[in-house]
Amino acid sequence: MRIFSGIQPSGDIHIGNYLGAIKQWVALQNKVYPVRGGISNKADCIFCIVDWHAITVPYNQTMLQRKIKEVAAIYLAAGLSPEKNIIFVQSQVKEHAELAWLLNTITPLGDLQRMTQFKEKAAKQANVEAGLFNYPVLMAADILLYQTDIVPVGEDQKQHVELTREIARRFNTRFGKTELSSGEVFSLPKAQTLKIGAKIMSLTAPDKKMSKSDKNPQASITLFDSPEQIKKKISSATTDSGHEIKFQPKEKPGISNLLTIYSLFSDKSIKDLEKAFLGKSYQEFKASLSEILIEKLKPFRNKKAELDKSPESIEKILADGALRAQKIAQATMQKVRTSMGLL
């Protein structure tokens, strides 16, 4: 069993990114999966910082370097262990780009034109580069390079994982089981999303997803926000008419979003929270949520301060991770090249 996922080093990583992806990664690093013969085994977990994806839109080079190290610090602060997982930077394993090019040769334009995220991002830009259009093929290469079984992602990335499966099927049909290949080259990965928390909404516009690209700093809580910033953002978060603290996403999207956040950070069910805050005001609920967030995000602030004092420790973890990842990537690429008839 192999698990792969990654986050772009762009914008500020917020609680939506953490709850939708990183939090479940931490649980997966210790999960034991049954395998054939009744024997259980821990999954191989590979978590990447996908910097090549971050350069598909205009960016600042110096900021990119800082953000790469910030994301690595977040992985470590969240509880991901470099001993239990492979943690590395995408661009340090060149096989990602090689496989992406080869997969581009079998991916129809129509499949890429249907991608929802491409349409949304392209609509916001005056000039759209080819990299943004080809983004899903690079993501497919990221996943297939490691013969991935499970891809833990947020709701918005499920379409990309489905395209990855289609690309893998197309490649296996065309190049697998031929005189040059004894069997299927790629495993077919499956997306894994959370039932609750796969999509955290904006604090200021609860009908929209919390986004790193949102220009309004009050719309999200980042993992490095100070206690004062957290209190201010939660205090001003959009709620709804009425006073009941009830989970009703359609009728009360604002308070429902805050209940979801509270539930996931406190490990209490939404029903238990509704009972606990029965008859209490939005102000009391928000004050309590602020305290929970301040407590739970403290390790991120502390870990960042610690790692800022010894940046070489992050560099070593990423370099070691890249070497481990490259061994797997090279084995896959040997199969790919052989099956395609390349020398």
208 is catalytic: no
Which tens digits make up the pLDDT trace of 301-311?
888 888 888 88
Mean pLDDT of all residues in 174-186: 82
Q: Out of 31, 158, 209, 268, pick the active-site residue.
A: 209
Confidence of residue 273 (pLDDT cuts 50, 70, 90): very high
Which pLDDT belongs to residue 24? 86
Q: Out of 121, 199, 232, 296, pick the active-site residue.
A: 121
* Percentage above 90 pLDDT, the chain: 67
Identify which of 303, 329, 332 has the alpha carbon closest to the alpha carbon of residue 91. Answer: 329
Which pLDDT belongs to residue 39? 52
Burial 324-342 (b: 16+ CB within 10 A, else e): bbbebbeebbebbeebbee
Mean pLDDT of all residues in 70-99: 94
Query: Is residue 307 left, alpha or beta, with left meaning phi > 0 and alpha meaning psi from -120 to 50?
Result: alpha
Domains detected in the chain:
2-197+311-340 (3.40.50.620), 217-306 (1.10.240.10)
| Kind and range of the H or E run holding 133 | helix 130-144
212 is catalytic: yes
Residue 197 in tokens: 């928390």
Which tens digits make up the pLDDT trace of 89-113?
999 999 999 999 999 999 999 999 8
**Among the ranges given (122-126, 300-304, 325-329), the one the predictor scored with the smallest mean pLDDT:** 122-126
Which pLDDT belongs to residue 60? 93
| Most confident of the ranges 52-66, 146-160, 325-339 | 325-339
Q: Are 259 and 294 in contact (CB under 8 A)?
A: no
User: Is residue 38 predicted with pLDDT exceeding 60?
Assistant: no
The helix-helix angle for 282-309 and 61-78 (nearest 10°) equals: 110
Which pLDDT belongs to residue 339? 94
Q: Out of 84, 158, 199, 212, pick the active-site residue.
A: 212
Which pLDDT belongs to residue 154? 76
Which pLDDT belongs to residue 36? 54
94 is catalytic: no
Which pLDDT belongs to residue 35? 61
Residue 305 in tokens: 């301060």
- Numbers of helices and strands, H then E, in the chain: 14, 7
Query: Is residue 147 left, alpha or beta, with left meaning phi > 0 and alpha meaning psi from -120 to 50?
Result: left
